[in-house]
């Protein structure tokens, strides 16, 4: 937890100086007034204001406990397995397209015999078991062409992964499975314990803090690579600010967002 004690002619001045030193904004800190300023008389008894400013913790990642995270130390392996399954499904789709282009009847797969949503649910349950998660339950909500898969498990943190990486990979896989046999294109979204909304709120807070940092330093601020919809959250959060501009650089999957102050 980052904390600073600052003096100033007034309480507000002390807070302002502390915010600049912490490169943050007022809503991202907790302020404790240690003493009020005192003007004195004829130069005697003058006293500056003193405040203690503490930077709040911004939760961007999931709520996994330390013990649970330490027990599961092969997250990269899990994501690699999911990536391989994504490649496999994409290869199957290309093969079917080639067969159709050659006027051949594609082989009937198990996924095509089942309902697309049920196929995706079964696939997710199978992958979860490979991850050591045997209690996964999945609820679905369908609205038009949008499908929400709500995942529940005692090991929710493992399904989310670092900054949602595992959840994003599972979502991409579910998207492929659903649309492999769906009659029309469907948009798939996976969520665990309302993580998507919590992540969105955290990104919005982070966006404002980094925008203020760009203004205070007069320099560009670059984020780590993130999915396009997360970059869009930051773009939208800062859309009404006239003192900065936002844009993306790099190529997928390492594309990242930049905040640049306008002089």
Q: What is the mean pLDDT of the chain?
A: 80
Bigger pLDDT: 111 vs 121: 121
Percent of the chain at pLDDT above 70?
Answer: 78
Tokens coding 156: 């929710």
Q: Is residue 30's pLDDT more than 90? A: no
Q: Is residue 231's pLDDT more than 80? A: yes
**Mean pLDDT of all residues in 89-113:** 60
Tokens coding 146: 């949008």
pLDDT at res. 48: 81
Q: Answer yes or no: pTM beyond 0.75.
A: no
- The model's confidence at residue 159, banded by pLDDT at 50, 70 and 90, is very high
Q: Is residue 205's pLDDT more than 60? A: yes
pLDDT at res. 234: 95
Across the beta sheet with 3-8, the strand order is 3-8, 49-55, 29-35
Bigger pLDDT: 200 vs 39: 200
Q: Is residue 62's pLDDT more than 80? A: no
pLDDT at res. 151: 96
Cα 160 → chain centroid: 10
How far, in Å, CA of 227 to CA of 182, rounded?
A: 25
User: C-alpha distances in angstroms, 184 versus 94, 99, 146, 179, 243?
Assistant: 17, 20, 11, 7, 43
Q: Is residue 207's pLDDT more than 60? A: yes
**Mean pLDDT of all residues in 76-82:** 68
- The model's confidence at residue 225, banded by pLDDT at 50, 70 and 90, is confident
- The model's confidence at residue 73, banded by pLDDT at 50, 70 and 90, is very low
How far, in Å, CA of 184 to CA of 181, rounded?
A: 9
pLDDT at res. 63: 37
Q: Is residue 174's pLDDT more than 70? A: yes
- The model's confidence at residue 71, banded by pLDDT at 50, 70 and 90, is very low
How far, in Å, CA of 238 to CA of 65, rounded?
A: 32
How far, in Å, CA of 95 to CA of 105, rounded?
A: 11
Cα radius of gyration rounded to whole Å, the chain = 25
- The CB density around residue 160, as the number of other CB atoms within 10 Å, is 26
Bigger pLDDT: 48 vs 207: 207
For the ranges 94-98, 106-110, 145-149, 231-235, the lowest mean pLDDT is seen at 106-110
Tokens coding 260: 């640049």
């Amino acid at each position: 937890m980052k904390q600073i004690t600052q003096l100033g002619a007034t309480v507000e001045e002390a807070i302002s100086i502390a915010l600049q030193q912490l490169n943050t904004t007022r809503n991202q800190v907790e302020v404790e007034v240690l003493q009020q300023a005192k003007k004195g008389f004829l130069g005697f008894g003058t006293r500056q204001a003193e405040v203690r400013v503490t930077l709040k913790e911004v939760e961007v990642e999931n709520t996994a406990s330390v013990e649970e995270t330490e027990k599961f130390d092969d997250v990269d392996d899990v994501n690699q397995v999911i990536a391989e399954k994504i490649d496999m499904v994409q290869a199957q789709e290309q093969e079917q397209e080639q067969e159709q282009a050659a006027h051949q009847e594609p082989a009937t797969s198990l996924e095509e015999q089942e309902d697309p949503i049920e196929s995706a649910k079964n696939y997710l349950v199978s992958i979860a078991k490979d991850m050591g998660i045997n209690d996964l339950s999945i609820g679905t909500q369908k609205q038009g062409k949008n499908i929400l898969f709500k995942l529940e498990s005692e090991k929710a943190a493992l399904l989310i992964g670092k900054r949602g990486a595992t959840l994003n990979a599972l979502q991409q896989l579910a998207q492929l499975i659903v649309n492999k046999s769906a009659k029309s294109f469907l948009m798939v979204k996976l969520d665990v314990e309302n993580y998507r909304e919590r992540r969105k709120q955290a990104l919005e807070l982070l966006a404002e803090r980094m925008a203020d940092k760009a203004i205070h330093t007069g320099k560009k601020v670059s984020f780590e690579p993130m999915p396009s919809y997360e970059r869009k959250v930051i773009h939208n959060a800062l859309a009404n600010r006239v003192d900065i501009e936002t844009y993306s650089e790099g190529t997928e999957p390492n594309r990242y967002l930049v905040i640049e102050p306008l002089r």
